[in-house]
Amino acid sequence: MFQNPTHRPLKITYKTPDEIEKMRVAGRLAAEVLDMIAPYVQEGVTTEELDRICYDYMVNVQQVIPAPLNYRGFPKSICTSVNHVVCHGIPGPKKLKKGDVVNLDITVIKDGYHGDTSRMFQIGTPPIAAQRVCQIAYECLCIGIRTVRPGLHLGDIGHAIQQYAEAQHCSVVREYCGHGIGRDFHEDPQVLHYGKPGDGVLLVPSMTFTIEPMINAGKRHVKRLPDNWTVVTKDHSISAQWEHTVLVTETGYEILTLSPGATL
């Protein structure tokens, strides 16, 4: 998601218990898609084949709507971001090969509410640097989520992520960020993955948003390709991202897109 530079007033939606339950369902279904597709993410498969399998599962088995499909003109049902692609990769005919790393980003709509999650997959044994940035990006996600509790601010989340990533000699993408989510795919507030403690929106129970740090092995700078969607690192360094949808609870957080039996 792009950051919004206009500084317009925020319209944060605080979810009712009924809405929270619907978001739990949507989040669980989004996680199920990633669990379902995992065995297919192998050498020789094309990303458009992964998209087709996910579409069929979402529409025919889960009976949900793939949120990315036709969203602002996006042509596919999932995002597939390979190697130096940071986010919003469009599934296509190129085959995955040994050593690749790929992010699959899944968002479903069920009963009007969104569940949004993404995960990194490794094809064969990628180079150590690629494995490393995948692990650091996951650790950044965990650190960000564990920071969530009422009374803190979004800046505390961003600071915790940035501090860890940079200590590992990686960089945090700044042009794209997490976001509020609910009835709309992208709601207020924006969730930056860098920042200062105490800055930004106060965390309040019943807020729902994504945390989805994009971590580069090289410099943080990115560019968007002529298709107006695919974002890549300018230096062609490997980028990695993991994402969960999170609910702020009375005492901390609940991950709405965690697979059954999984832990953070």
Whether 150 is in a domain gets the answer yes
E strand or H helix that includes residue 64? none
Q: Is the pLDDT of residue 264 over 80?
A: yes
Whether 153 is in a domain gets the answer yes
Domains in the chain: how many in total? 1
**pLDDT tier at 2, thresholds 50, 70, 90:** very low
Whether 5 is in a domain gets the answer no
What are the tokens at 140? Answer: 């950044």
Any idea what the CATH number is for the domain that residue 193 is in?
A: 3.90.230.10
Whether 6 is in a domain gets the answer no
Q: Is the pLDDT of residue 79 over 80?
A: yes
Whether 9 is in a domain gets the answer no
pLDDT in tens, 151-186: 999 999 999 999 999 999 999 999 999 999 999 999
Whether 2 is in a domain gets the answer no
The helix/strand/coil state of 93 is: coil
E strand or H helix that includes residue 101? strand 101-110
Q: Is the pLDDT of residue 1 over 90?
A: no
Spell out a b/e string for 124-157, using b for 16 or more CB atoms within 10 Å of the CB, else e.
Answer: eebeeebbbbbebbbbbbbbbbebbebebbbbbb
pLDDT in tens, 187-234: 999 999 999 999 999 999 999 999 999 999 999 999 999 999 999 999
Whether 55 is in a domain gets the answer yes
Average confidence (pLDDT) over 42-67: 98
Domain hosting 31: range is: 17-255
